[in-house]
A and B are shown apart, each in its own frame.
Chain A
Amino acid sequence: MSDAPSPANPAPRGWSPRIVAFFCNWCTYTAADLAGVSRIKYASNTCTIRLMCSGRVDPQFIVEAFAKGADGVLIGGCHPNDCHYAEGNYKCLRRFRMIQRVLGDLGIAQDRLRLEWISAAEGDKVKTVINEMVEKIQKLGPLNMPQRFEEWDREMTELEHSIHQAAVPAEKEISHV
């Protein structure tokens, strides 16, 4: 295993970003629906999850999406002062600012996580935002955490292998202690 950043690995052929999108039921999801009904074409890289409110986006969801293989996470909510539940989008924004810092500290590029206010009438904005995000992540390359976990753990399988080969386990390695 090397300490070199993995994004240096070229993106595998045929790879295109996978983005998990958490959209609020009242604004952004409706906007995405509008985009569909209006036959607006945009990149097909998002997997949309409808939540009642952007205030429902637990930072655990974001981290888990990345851990399970997402290349990007997009959160869409109502514009400030427009939240169906009055304050949900503000709660989302506050959590977002902190989880952004945490993910930054953990080496995940800022462009992989995005929060946008998109009202129910802004079908066109759904298109712009998603296209932009896909383009940026395309440049960043795959995050592919599951593969990284595997790579990190490879240093262990080597030892396991050598233990199985040794007739008397442990003694030879450890007898100096």
Chain B
Amino acid sequence: MSKPKIAFYWCASCGGCEETVVDLAEDILGVVEKVDIVLWPVAMDFKYKDVAAMPDKSIFATLLNGAIRSSEQEEMARLLRAKSRYLIAYGSCACTGGIPGLANQFAREDILKFNYEDAPSVVNEAKTRPQLVFEENGRKPHLPELRHVVRTLDQVVDVDYYIPGCPPTPKITKAAVGALLEGRLPPKGAVLAPDIALCEECPRRDSKPTDLAFAEFKRPHQKLIDPQLCLLAQGIVCMGPSTRQGCGAQCISGNMPCTGCFGGTDRVKSQGAKMISSLCSAITAKEEKEIDRVLEGIPDPIGTFYRYSLPRSLLRRKVDL
């Protein structure tokens, strides 16, 4: 019997998710033994046209990371969807939009203008911008089009499973690949990580007060953080209460607060709004002015509460762009 075919693909991402596959270390050998990799642009040389020539559903599983931001990524997402039995959104960007998703706060024109004209490091007097089609030495190359909206993978094509994280940890990756290969699969649409908040597995859990009270918020660089005490108890915004566990609380072990990359649990409709609900209700102030003063400690609410999930959130994008 031939080995199951696996594809890895990347869209709008930083490459960190690919790094996790490498971080499997020796364990990757066990995986490679059991499968045939048919596409992995970051590490191996395959041609897209070979994938396009494969019969539909002939790839066993595709792990696709990155948000969908350009026409090319969209096209590849559709192609890989057609060719794969299981399409898996791998990493925060594919699952919930991730860091690239924060671009949904800006108009496309503003993004292009800044990057090709206004950024301090740019020298571009002719104000040249990439064109979708241009002629060079008699060739007519096509370039992908940047979309107005950054999308999660499941806003473009049907997705079978989600592996969250920025990046997903080797541990949940291994567990997910194992489950896939052995056919121990949960119902379609499941997130392949525990459906419990991070606080549950946090090493500082016992120091979390039952009645949190915030007189002020501090950002991590603004104070010396006690390495034992619950970060919320120290007035630092830690997304643990509204974030799914599965990462092993690595950031907290590194004395930094959770920023929410695993996304909300299944019951949460909007991770950021849920966190606002839990966090802000515990402010001590009662007067409007005093409340606002405390909230000033969070200068960028979207970047704090929706750092990885703006495209997935209920409003998806700044509405008046």
Contact = CB atoms under 8 A, between A and B. Distances in A.
A102 B310 CA distance: 11
B316 interface: yes
Given A95-B276, A155-B148, A177 B316 contact: no
Interface residues of B, number: 54
Given A3-B108, A7-B320, A58 B277 contact: yes
A37 interface: no
A160 B74 CA distance: 9
15 contacts: A58-B274, A59-B277, A63-B313, A64-B269, A64-B270, A98-B295, A99-B276, A153-B155, A156-B151, A156-B156, A170-B76, A172-B142, A173-B72, A174-B75, A175-B48
Interface stretch (B24-32, B59-67, B89-97, B279-287): B279-287
A117 B270 CA distance: 26
Interface string B135-163: 00000011000011101000110000000
A168 B53 CA distance: 9
B175 interface: no
A98 B316 CA distance: 18
B20 interface: no
Contacts of B285: 94
A1 to B, nearest CB: 6
A90 B108 CA distance: 39
B280 A95 contact: yes
- The 6 closest A-B CB pairs, nearest first, are A107-B320, A91-B281, A59-B273, A67-B314, A5-B320, A60-B273
A152 B316 contact: yes
A93 B273 CA distance: 14
Contacts, number: 148
A169 B82 CA distance: 11
Contact of A95 (B149, B269, B277): B277
B291 A106 contact: no
Contact of A152 (B75, B156, B317): B317
A77 to B, nearest CB: 13
Contacts of A97: 280, 288, 291-292, 295
Interface in B273-320: 273-274, 276-277, 280-281, 283, 285-286, 288, 291-292, 295, 298, 301-302, 305-306, 313-320
B21 interface: no
Contacts of B52: 168-171
Interface residues of A, number: 50
A99 B80 CA distance: 38
B147 A63 contact: no
Contacts of A163: 75, 78
A7 B272 CA distance: 26
Contacts of B288: 93, 97
A22 interface: no
A176 B141 contact: yes
B98 to A, nearest CB: 18
Contact of B277 (A1, A7, A60, A152): A60
Nearest to A107: B320
B228 interface: no
Contacts of B33: none
